[in-house]
């Protein structure tokens, strides 16, 4: 079945460091890919998405490129801030069923 | 806009009790979902619905039931609560229409359920 695998956390970085969170997927057909972010005590919010191969999703300085050849959708940010501390979830949508990875907690220290 | 509204926010149940988690959305979305999130884990799909009168099982449906009598409402029923159902439950909805919100999941704020 369809699934998403992402790197385990927590990831701890200093402010202004470079961020990469790895995500790979298994799916039949041509799924859409997403990154969601969850702040403490809240529901998930869409961060960015890509709907086809080689698309790049971007938002708030975060980027991810849909790589069909490696079935990956890694999240990157060039310079993280303390306010980016949250849990990040990679997800896919295939035939209107959404599957989520286990989440990666990011801690950014001043 | 209210978006997706879940009630209650917190609930403690005794083993064997039953309860219904309510979920309502005011965006006229066809698709609605129930997820559970265990501590330190990702979201697991319990049930989903593609429209009024149509529901289907997700990854972890055992111990739960749903109904979808209207487009707006998608309640989740726990019949005989067990400690393994202690979790945070999220309801979500999405649209299949065109535009920037297509495929975007809108989440409720969650229900924290403890079964003791």
Q: What is the pLDDT along chain A (110 residues), one digit of tens a residue?
A: 888 999 888 999 999 999 999 999 999 888 999 999 998 878 889 999 999 999 999 999 999 999 999 999 999 999 999 999 999 999 999 888 889 999 999 999 99
DSSP state of B83: G
Cβ separation B41–A93 shorter than 8 A: no
Which of A43, A96, A99 lies closest to B31 in CB terms? Answer: A96
Tell me the shortest Cα–Cα distance from B89 to chain A, in angstroms.
10
Closest of A63, A64, A62, A67 to residue A52, by C-alpha: A67
Q: Which of B31, B103, B110, B111 to probe the A interface (max A CBs under 10 A)? A: B103
Give the ranges where A1-110 is alpha helix by DSSP (H).
Answer: none
* Burial label, A22 (beta-carbon count in 10 A; 0-12, 13-18, 19+): middle
Closest of B14, B101, B12 to residue A46, by C-alpha: B101
Q: pLDDT-based confidence at B100, cuts 50/70/90? A: low
Q: What proportions of chain B, in percent to the nearest 5, are helix, strand and coil?
A: 5, 50, 50
Look at chain B and count its residues: 116
Q: Which pLDDT does position B53 carry in this prediction?
A: 94
**Does residue B91 contact residue B107 with C-beta atoms inside 8 Å?**
yes
Which of B92, B103, B110 lies closest to A49 in CB terms? Answer: B103
**Does residue B22 contact residue B72 with C-beta atoms inside 8 Å?**
no
- Would you state the torsion angle of the CA atoms of residues A51, A46, B46, B88, taken in this order, to the nearest 10 degrees? 160
**Does residue B98 contact residue B82 with C-beta atoms inside 8 Å?**
no
Residue B99 confidence (pLDDT) above 90? no
Strand partners, A44: A38
**Dihedral over Cα of B36, B42, B44, B45: its sign:** positive
Instruction: Tally Cβ neighbours within 10 Å of residue A27.
Output: 18
Using CA coordinates, name the residue in chain A closest to B4: A43
DSSP state of A110: -
pLDDT digit string, tens, across residues B80-90: 999 999 999 99
- The first and second tokens of residue A6, run together, are 């992402």
Cβ separation B43–A42 shorter than 8 A: no
């Amino acid at each position: 079945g369809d699934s998403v695998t992402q790197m385990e956390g927590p990831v701890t970085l200093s402010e202004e460091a470079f961020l990469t969170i790895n995500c790979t997927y298994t799916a039949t057909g041509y799924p859409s890919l997403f990154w969601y972010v969850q702040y403490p005590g809240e529901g998930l919010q869409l961060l960015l998405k890509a709907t086809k191969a080689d698309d790049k999703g971007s938002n708030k300085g975060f980027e991810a490129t849909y790589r069909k050849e490696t079935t990956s959708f890694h999240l990157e940010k060039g310079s993280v801030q303390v306010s980016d501390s949250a849990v990040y979830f990679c997800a896919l949508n295939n035939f209107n069923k959404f599957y989520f990875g286990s989440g990666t907690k990011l801690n950014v220290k001043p | 806009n209210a978006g997706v509204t879940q009630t209650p926010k917190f609930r403690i149940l005794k083993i064997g009790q039953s309860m219904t988690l309510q979920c309502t959305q005011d965006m006229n979305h066809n698709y609605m979902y129930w997820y559970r999130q265990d501590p330190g884990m990702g979201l697991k799909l319990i049930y989903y619905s593609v429209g009024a009168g149509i529901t289907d099982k997700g990854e972890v449906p055992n111990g739960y039931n749903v109904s979808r009598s209207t487009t707006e409402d998608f309640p989740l029923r726990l019949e005989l609560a067990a400690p393994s159902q202690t979790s945070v439950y999220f309801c979500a909805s999405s649209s299949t229409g065109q535009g920037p919100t297509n495929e975007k999941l809108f989440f409720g704020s969650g229900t924290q359920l403890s079964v003791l």
